[in-house]
């Protein structure tokens, strides 16, 4: 038992020392995480399936051939409940209108739509254009200049396709670490630092809340019914959820800032 305890403390000391090293050499590790994130996002967004029921690799096409500009409307019910919207049933075409309000980045965004209305494609389109601009791609920069300048404000854009995450994970940060970046403990420490630090502005897109199916034990860990836990993130992290309308009724009351 003593040996096991000593081994545990040695592991804890090892990770504490490693975390201190990451913080000391922060610029290098943050840059590595960002480059890896761009590669992961590019792999996800280079092509999408014709139907969400199909597996990756089946009938895939470049997103440019499938994407059509989505017209989003603010639901007047939000305004009636005092959720901070100032216009009634306003059409939202530009992502800036979704991500920004009163010249401030919105902390939580909920995109509702029926099946096959383009929610997933829209999420992927946002991620793709952020990645293109990070690479200095002229077309990506042109897209952001035309309809998505708010995306430039984010140092990191993470995409979680919730139908693919492990059913035993309740935490959004754990999902990003394990389901996006895999079993890389050093990378996990850097990501936790990025998401908890006020120095970095991140957008976490959680696509398909209606397809998220945590197991029974995981559901007991949730602080808000039907929503991944967001403890540990800084105030500079924005969360974007897409879902079908029926899911929204299961979510507990939103704050006025959402």
pLDDT of residue 185: 82
Q: Which of 209, 217, 216, 222 is closest to 248 using CA atoms?
A: 209
pLDDT of residue 191: 93
pLDDT of residue 209: 93
Answer whether residue 14 is part of any domain.
no
The answer to whether the beta carbons of residues 51 and 59 sit under 8 Å apart is yes
Intra-chain end-to-end CA distance of the chain, in Å: 49
Answer whether residue 98 is part of any domain.
yes
**Token code pair at residue 131:** 């990645």
The answer to whether the beta carbons of residues 180 and 195 sit under 8 Å apart is no
pLDDT of residue 66: 60
pLDDT of residue 189: 87
Tokens 């754990």 sit on residue: 174
Answer whether residue 20 is part of any domain.
no
Strand partners, 91: 73
Tokens 């034990």 sit on residue: 217
**Which pairs from 51-54 meet CB under 8 Å and 24+ separation?**
52/115, 52/116, 52/120, 52/163, 52/208
Which structural domain range is residue 164 located in? Answer: 27-248
Answer whether residue 215 is part of any domain.
yes
| Cα–Cα separations (whole angstroms), residue 151 to 72, 184, 208, 233, 234 | 17, 27, 21, 19, 18
**Half-sphere exposure (CA, 13 Å, Cβ side) for 175?**
27
What predicted TM-score, i.e. pTM, was given to this entire model?
0.78
Q: What is the CATH number of the domain that holds 134?
A: 3.40.50.300
**Token code pair at residue 171:** 């935490």
Rounded to whole angstroms, the Cα distance separating 33 from 26 reads 11
Answer whether residue 17 is part of any domain.
no
Residue-by-residue DSSP string for 135-179: TT-HHHHHHHHHH-GGGGG-SEEEEEEGGGS-TT--BHHHIIIII
pLDDT of residue 233: 94
Answer whether residue 6 is part of any domain.
no
Strand partners, 202: 156, 237
Rounded to whole angstroms, the Cα distance separating 120 from 22 reads 34
Answer whether residue 11 is part of any domain.
no
pLDDT of residue 5: 44
The answer to whether the beta carbons of residues 54 and 36 sit under 8 Å apart is no
The total number of structural domains that make up the chain: 1
Which portions of the chain are predicted below pLDDT 70? 1-24, 47-94, 135-148, 250-258
pLDDT tens digits, one per residue of 99-144: 887 788 889 888 888 887 778 888 988 898 888 878 666 666 666 6
pLDDT tens digits, one per residue of 140-165: 666 666 556 788 889 999 999 999 99
- Tell me the three-class secondary structure of 116-127, residue by residue: CCCHHHHHHHHH
Answer whether residue 93 is part of any domain.
yes
Q: In sequence order, which residues have a C-beta less than 8 Å from that of residue 108 and are 6 or more positions away? A: 238, 239, 241, 254, 257, 258
């Amino acid at each position: 038992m003593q040996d096991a305890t000593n081994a545990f403390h040695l592991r804890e000391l090892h990770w504490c020392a490693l975390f201190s090293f990451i913080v000391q050499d922060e610029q290098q590790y943050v840059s590595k995480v960002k480059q890896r994130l761009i590669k992961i996002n590019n792999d996800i967004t280079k092509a999408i399936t014709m139907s969400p029921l199909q597996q990756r690799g089946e009938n895939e096409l470049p997103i440019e051939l499938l994407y059509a500009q989505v017209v989003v409307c603010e639901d007047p019910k939000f305004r009636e409940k005092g959720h901070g919207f100032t216009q009634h049933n306003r059409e939202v075409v530009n992502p800036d209108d979704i991500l920004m309000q009163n010249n401030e980045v919105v902390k939580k965004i909920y995109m509702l739509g029926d099946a096959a209305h383009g929610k997933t494609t829209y999420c992927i389109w946002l991620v793709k254009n952020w990645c293109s601009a990070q690479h200095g791609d002229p077309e990506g920069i042109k897209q952001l200049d035309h309809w998505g300048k708010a995306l430039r404000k984010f140092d990191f854009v993470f995409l979680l396709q919730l139908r693919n995450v492990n059913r035993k994970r309740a935490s959004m940060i754990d999902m990003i670490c394990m389901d996006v970046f895999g079993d890389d403990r050093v990378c996990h420490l850097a990501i936790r630092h990025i998401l908890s630090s006020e120095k970095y502005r991140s957008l976490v897109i959680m696509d398909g809340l209606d397809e998220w199916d945590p197991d029974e034990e995981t559901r007991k860990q949730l602080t808000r019914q039907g929503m991944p836990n967001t403890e540990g993130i800084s105030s500079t992290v924005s969360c974007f959820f897409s879902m079908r309308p029926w899911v929204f009724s299961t979510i507990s009351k939103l704050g006025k800032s959402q």
